[in-house]
Structure 1
């Protein structure tokens, strides 16, 4: 039986020494954050939350501010024994307070979390579709698009940042630097002139190979990137796809993916999503928007 005094709770910003405690908190609600994911979040943004009298982490919320006027909130978790105390609201509020009032803040909500975010001033503006696969089914796609797909090298970074900025809606250099370093694989797509016109990352988590972000000029190129990232992986995969990508949805179903949820994208300090050029075919992860 739980005996801690629940009034003795400290709201703190977590650091590298708290990684294992955050992994335990994540696992307690069935989420699969691992050391590498949490370190990427910390290197890109900040994680706040509560510790109890024994120093155990019982809540968390993270914010990742991007380069200009956009930030993303995620990793909002409360230990089951500490729910009903407003800890999630307090941790999320300190994330909001850590950026300027003219920063647009986005998040991808769970159904349980949506009422809390509405209280905090977020509104639903769009959605993503979460797809899972137990094992990738190759499509043997033919590359007849006059493009080449090759492994990323560090000289490609600035072009990748620019492509991502147009597709995502803000530059995010610090995040991409950490994410590429974390990735199992990063592919870039070049046109006949050698210019990079697309890219994609895969991240090996404790349960799934996560595909994203994937940026491409069209759904066929996006499918080629996905095939390149997934082809030699034996095991579970996950991809989160923005709304409106019907051709890619069809490809994913043929490849063994099943849609499991359609969580809403919510935003605060704005009434619209940031402008995107419709070339974002998969997000990095829900925490990163």
Structure 2
């Protein structure tokens, strides 16, 4: 029997019940089975997928769309497109393009952005996305430490810190991420804040578990010294190797991480469609929550 063309395969919304199928699809393409991250993505965002006609319960393709901010009409300001996957056996048949066109359509008036692998970048460029930056994935065993700036302390975050965390993040990220950040205490293995002598919050950061490393992110701070102090606290307390996805615009942080045991040269592109740049203040945004979330 002739297999249906990509245009004939319906795209449906995914739920947490589809988590095993998402993990199987990721593994099919050589990705890790990142259950912890997928569970968060399918909770704060909306997953979409195409069922596999030849494998009941399986998926041929998938992606996740995470909305940020709210306009007066109730629509999102931005959407982050992530986890764009097509089963190996149906690669290069137009399913990736089909899924991305669906993501753009579902974004509506919101501005879509994403982190593109080198393989995915040509398709995204064809669909109108443009580069606005890049990330380098660094990993290894952290070998240094960095004391907080004079008058600043780093400590574990508490529920009372959340309003100040949300306020700082709104400036750094440029739009509201309340739903995502309120899940950080349960998602992260460690969640810390920095505060000055007056008790004002000057930064926050978290680390969370992945199958083979502890990922550091987000890291949001008023300055580089505070970002280093937050990062050092998380990295020195992590069990095993850590990974830090550093924006190449933060050259000093990049060099400091390499000096203290982290290494790597894999790069991804930050891309956006229908806008000039990502919102927020890159001077305060030192590491993403995840490359799948911005």
* Shorter-chain TM-score above 0.5: yes
1:58 aligns to what SS in structure 2? strand
CA distance in 2, matches of 1:40, 1:207: 18
Q: Partner residue of 1:13? A: 13
SS of the aligned residue for 1:284 comes to coil
Identify the residue that residue 64 of structure 1 maps to in structure 2. 66
Q: Distance in 1 between matches of 2:41 and 2:96?
A: 18
Aligned residue number for residue 88 of structure 1 = 96
**CA drift at 1:33:** 4.5
Check conservation: 1:46, 1:63, Cα contact below 8 A: yes
Per-residue CA distance 1:5-44 (angstroms, 9 max, x = gap): 4557442111111101111111222223522211211121
**Partner residue, 2:81:** 73
Q: Check whether the contact 1:129–1:261 (CA below 8 A) recurs between aligned residues.
A: yes
**1:120 alignment partner in structure 2:** 127
Q: Deviations over 1:61-114 (max 9, x none)?
A: 11111023122111011111011221112222222222232x211111011111
1:200 counterpart residue number: 205
Q: Which residue of 1 aligns with 2:259?
A: 254
Give the deviation of 1:205 after TM superposition.
0.9
In 2, distance between residues paired with 1:212 and 1:284? 5
Native 8 Å contact 1:136 1:233 kept in 2:
no
Partner of 2:158: 153
**1:110 correspondence with 2:87:** no
Give the structure 1 partner of residue 248 of structure 2.
243
In the TM superposition, residue 273 of structure 1 has moved relative to its aligned partner by 2.4
Q: TM-score, normalised by structure 2?
A: 0.91
Q: TM-score, normalised by structure 1?
A: 0.92
Whether the 8 Å contact between 2:214 and 2:239 is mirrored in structure 1 is no
Q: How many angstroms apart in 1 are the aligned matches of 2:201 and 2:33?
A: 31
Q: Runs (4+) of structure 1 moved beyond 3 Å?
A: 3-10
Where structure 1 has 5 or more consecutive residues not aligned to the other structure, the ranges are: none
Cα deviation, residue 142, structure 1? 3.0
Q: Which moved more, 1:273-282 or 1:6-15?
A: 6-15
Q: Unpaired runs of 5+ in structure 2? A: 71-76
- Within 1, Cα distance between the matches of 2:161 and 2:32? 30
* 3-state SS, counterpart of residue 47 of structure 2: strand
2:145–2:233 CA contact under 8 A, matched in 1: no
Q: Residue 142 of structure 2 aligns with which residue?
A: 136
